[in-house]
Amino acid sequence: MTWRDRVMDVLSRVADPEIPVVSVVDLGIVRGVKDDPKSVVITTTYSGCPATQVITSDIRKALDDAALNDVKIEMALSPPWTTDWITEAGRKKLQAYGIAPPPKGSGAPGLKNAQPATCPRCGSIKTREVSRFGSTPCKALWQCETCREPFDRFKCH
């Protein structure tokens, strides 16, 4: 296993502090690993994300615990994070956790929540946005009109 593979393996076990079923790799927060200097490049989902410091600290701890102390953490803000960077595995984990994942593709009509979310509980598309503000800044509150259950939908961008 190369050191890069080892780093990615370690980071694949660092949970997002607000959505613990997905890793920072699943969410696309980890943008890559660089050789010179040895570093991990990350981008937060929102520039004002309240979990940024916790994510950076959790990544540092995981790297240190794996004896990868020489690997630096770089924050990249450009290009900005996009929901297209969420992995397919991450999308499935979000749905299983009860969060509707965003549609994939920057040209998707649902990018601005123009199309209904699929209810993560019953699979219905008879859903509506209740509030742009969900349980965290990166999610909106939706409700299914079939099973009547409320659920979060990851905001698209």
How do the domains of the chain map onto residue ranges?
Answer: 3-81, 88-154
pLDDT at 116: 83
pLDDT digits (tens, 9 = 90+) for 55-69: 999 999 999 999 999
Chain mean pLDDT for the chain: 90
Q: How far apart, in whole angstroms, are the C-alpha atoms of residue 139 and residue 136?
A: 6
Better pLDDT: 130 or 106 = 130
pLDDT in tens, 74-113: 999 999 888 889 999 999 999 999 999 887 775 455 555 5
CATH architecture of the domain with residue range 3-81: 2-Layer Sandwich (3.30)
pLDDT value for 114: 65
Q: Tell me the average pLDDT across 122-136.
A: 92
